[in-house]
Amino acid sequence: MATEMSENNCKIKEMINARKARGMILLEEGFEPKEINPHTWVVPSQNGCGTYTVTRLLTSRHWKCSCPDYLKRGVDCKHICAVKIWKNLSDKFEQLNLHIKQNISVKEKIPVASCKFCNSLKIIKYGKKSGKQVYKCKSCNRKSVDNIDFENMKYNPKIIALTLDLYFRGLSLRKVSQHLKQFYDLEISYMTVHRWIEKYIGIMNEYVNTIQPDIGEVWHTDEMMVNIGGTWEYLWNVIDERTRFQLASVVSTERKVRDARMVFQKAKKNCGGRKPKYIVTDGLQSYKRAVKKEFPTNIHETEHLYNVGLRHHPNNNHVERLHGEIRSREKTMRGIKVDTTPIVEGHRLYHNFIKPHMSLDGKTPSEEAGITIDGDNKWVSLMKTALWYKKAISSK
């Protein structure tokens, strides 16, 4: 009896090993599994006739497959083995990718290399003024402050950074002005605060859009109605599921196919032309046609998941949470004044690079996407680096 059981166990092991080899061959021939959710995969048939569904039971470690081999014998078939191998390789790649991401950073301190007046390289440190490094040029004998395009500003860069932070945390322009007066005794009008927002948000977004984030494979898209200049328009948003990184925001007066295509085009541009494996939207017809135009499905590169809601699986909760943030900001502003406002892009910058997220264990989406910002003040670091980038581009 013991000999028969041992022989049976050997046969089962041989069957499983043979199916592991077939599963590896399946992957080598390009039959890659598609992940529907964390517990379900679809594997193409090797003979090209349909697909099989592989599932991992939630209550145990058992796997199931819809193929005849599994249904007949009840052991791991080549499709289950292919999914296990593919998942193991994907997890190892993700760990390697997380290690690589730690090396990407936005530096805060940019050394002064030349005189801003005569471009001479003969510059020396010449003490400090108001906490800022002063440089002296030996060629023209003129002095300059290490402010990188803040030289003509009356106020310290940290004051400008403070106004941006207060505004995007929910204060109105006038309340920001009142805060600066009460706590710092600074007479700064609310229109000056708005000019700072308009100027520096534009410069910073121009820079951060050149950095390619390391995002996931599932994008969530939805639109919301916002009050702009007294009329109701549509704000479209695209957000990455894994990192919560907001890829694009677009304002439009309608919800036609061209409007949906516009936000998809912007999202692709902001992530270096990368395309997702899955696009999650609601049942709006414009999305279906826009996805077919921007993410051709004839080669199964991107799959469109639609008719989702708050409680369905998959759902659109990630982008709905983002809309809640924007709605809170809109209420404080009592509506957006013009459709060319920098506030929309400013909120995207704040969401991605400044605001820590509880769902990401206190990290920002940019940090989760591999973009770290050195320095205690992220606003100042971003402003200085963006201004340095702008100066480097304009000098070419």
Domain locations in the chain as residue ranges: 2-89, 212-370
Look at residue 372 and tell me whether its pLDDT is greater than 50: yes
**Residue 210 contacts residue 204 (beta carbons within 8 Å):** no
Specify whether domain 212-370 bears CATH 1.10.390.10.
Answer: no
Peptide bond into 314 cis (omega under 30): yes
User: What does the pLDDT read at residue 3?
Assistant: 55
Structure tokens at 36: 């529907």
User: What does the pLDDT read at residue 9?
Assistant: 58
Please state the rounded mean pLDDT for residues 366-384: 88
How confident is the model over 148-169, as pLDDT tens digits? 555 556 677 889 999 999 998 8
**Residue pointed to by tokens 């995002």:** 215
User: What does the pLDDT read at residue 219?
Assistant: 92
Please state the rounded mean pLDDT for residues 380-389: 86
Q: Where does the pLDDT of residue 121 fall: very low under 50, low under 70, confident under 90, or very high at 90 and above?
A: confident
How confident is the model over 313-345, as pLDDT tens digits? 566 777 888 877 777 766 666 556 555 567 888
User: What does the pLDDT read at residue 247?
Assistant: 93
How confident is the model over 74-99, as pLDDT tens digits? 888 888 888 888 877 766 555 444 44
How confident is the model over 193-245, as pLDDT tens digits? 999 999 999 999 999 888 888 898 899 999 988 887 778 889 899 999 999 99
User: What does the pLDDT read at residue 176?
Assistant: 92
Burial 73-106 (b: 16+ CB within 10 A, else e): eeebbbbbbbbbbbeeeeeeeeeeeeeebeebeb
CA pair distance 243, 274, nearest whole angstrom: 15
User: What does the pLDDT read at residue 102?
Assistant: 39
Look at residue 178 and tell me whether its pLDDT is greater than 90: yes
Please state the rounded mean pLDDT for residues 100-117: 55
CA pair distance 294, 104, nearest whole angstrom: 29
Neighbours of 141 (CB within 10 A): 10
User: What does the pLDDT read at residue 12?
Assistant: 61
To the question of pTM greater than 0.85 for the whole model, the response is: no
How confident is the model over 1-19, as pLDDT tens digits? 555 555 555 666 677 677 8
Please spell the DSSP secondary structure of 227-247, one letter per residue: EETTEEEEEEEEEETTT--EE
Helix (H, G, I), strand (E, B) or coil at 92: helix
Nearest-CA neighbor of 242 among 38, 14, 73? Answer: 38
**Residue 90 contacts residue 80 (beta carbons within 8 Å):** no
Compute the C-alpha angle 240/242/245, nearest 5°. 40
**Of 37-41, 50-54, 171-175, minimum mean pLDDT range:** 37-41
Mean pLDDT computed over every residue of the chain: 80
CA pair distance 233, 281, nearest whole angstrom: 19
User: What does the pLDDT read at residue 324?
Assistant: 77
**Residue pointed to by tokens 């080598």:** 28
Give every CB contact of residue 249 below 8 A, 6+ residues apart in sequence. 235, 236, 237, 263, 344, 345, 347, 348
Of the chain, the percentage scoring pLDDT greater than 70 comes to 79
**Of 236-245, 250-259, 346-355, 367-376, minimum mean pLDDT range:** 367-376
Please spell the DSSP secondary structure of 337-393, one letter per residue: S-TT-SHHHHHHHIIIII--BGGGTTB-HHHHTT-EE-SS-HHHHHHHHHHHHHHHH
- Considering only residues 73 and 260, tell me which one the structure prediction assigns the higher pLDDT: 260
Backbone angles phi, psi at 225, to 5 degrees: -90, 135
